[in-house]
Amino acid sequence: MGVTNGRVSIGKRRLGAALALLAALAWLPGAPADDALPQRWVSAGGSLSEWVVALGGADRLVGVDTTSLHPTFLQDLPSIGYQRQLAAEGILALRPDLLLGSEEMGPPPVLQQLRAAGVRIETLSAQADLATLEDNLTRLGALLGEPQRARQALAAFRSRIESQQAWIAEAQRSQEAPGVVLLLGHPSGSAMAGGRDTAAAWLIEQAGGRNLTRHSGYKALSSEALLALDPDVVIFTDRRLLEADEARQALMRQNPALASTRAAREGRMVALDPTLLVGGLGPRIPEGLAALSAAFYPARSPLPAEATPDR
């Protein structure tokens, strides 16, 4: 864990530990006081946990939910279960000062019990847009006592998205925006396709593609409907489907409709990490977008992966 936090001095850490101890001793309803920074954090949101780590708060996390999978060391922390199905006593056993989560966190009676037990509850939005991200990072920066770092992370995120947009605009001079479909799950049966109001659609549009589906949410797409949409690019959320040649061929055999789409004929199938689709914009979004854009516009050389937000 310490890797992410090399710049924090030893003295500051000791102070942190002492504060945590103090907070634990003074663990009464109503405490801790609002002006003290929360030291023991439980995070119930994948992207939020990632940001906490990116902003140098990894050693404050004492528990995470099942959607907090990145960076992988978070999976070693105690798991509080699924974010909409939290258990009050389990969380209290971790003696947290703060419970961080999105508007999906619940159930409400459990949040009330936690609040009554003096746990501060911060609800940030999981909306996938830049304005929300700015609010979230500002709040996290304040809570971590790292406002400067939060501003830098936001600026870096913004500038990467902007240069990506410029790159796409440049690429679109020589190539039309491709039509794209994102398929969740294994496409041998009826895979679920991301509709127009999903995070999948947001990612596709941001990466310079056109999301072809017209439904809302994630809905099963029949083979025939897939054929009718005839996407230029198909995105899968399982890397293993595309890694080996045999897997790829097996996939084509199992789904003849998929095999006869333009995307399959031209070999334009991409894998995307499904964790990018949940919980709002996380620090790995620019990377994911850059990979998608590179697949959408193969003729243009991809943007170098510099200016990754500080992690």
Shortest spacing between CB 62 and other proteins, in angstroms: 10
Cα–Cα distance, 271 to 182 (Å, whole number): 9
Among 16, 37, 69, 81, binds other proteins (CB under 8 A): 81
55 CA to centre of own chain:
15
CA distance 277 to 115: 30
Dist CA 226 CA 269 (whole Å): 14
Which tokens hold the place of 250?
Answer: 């097996």
**Residue with Cβ nearer other proteins (104 or 134):** 104
> Omega of the bond prior to 256 within 30 degrees of 0, cis?
no
- E strands present in the chain: 41-44, 61-64, 98-101, 120-123, 179-184, 192-194, 210-211, 218-220, 233-236, 269-271
108 lies in the binding site for other proteins (CB under 8 A): yes
Nearer Cβ to other proteins (198/261): 198
Residue 110 touching other proteins (CB under 8 A)? yes
Q: Is 79 in the site for other proteins (CB under 8 A)?
A: yes
Residue placing its CB nearer to other proteins in the complex, 161 or 204 = 204
**Using rule CB under 8 A, residue 120 touches other proteins:** no
Least distance to other proteins, CB of residue 107, Å: 5
| Interaction pattern, residues 154-193, with other proteins; x per rule: CB under 8 A | ----------------------------------------
Between residues 116 and 155, which has the closer beta carbon with respect to other proteins?
A: 116
* Alpha-carbon torsion (53, 59, 61, 62), positive or negative: positive
- The encoded tokens of residue 66 equal 């099942």
For residue 221, the minimal CB distance to other proteins (Å) is 13
Task: State which of residues 15, 18, 22, 93 lies at the interface with other proteins (CB under 8 A).
Answer: 93
- SS3 assignment, position 79: strand
Binding site for other proteins (CB under 8 A): 27-29, 63, 66, 78-82, 84-94, 104, 107-110, 112-113, 116-117, 216-219
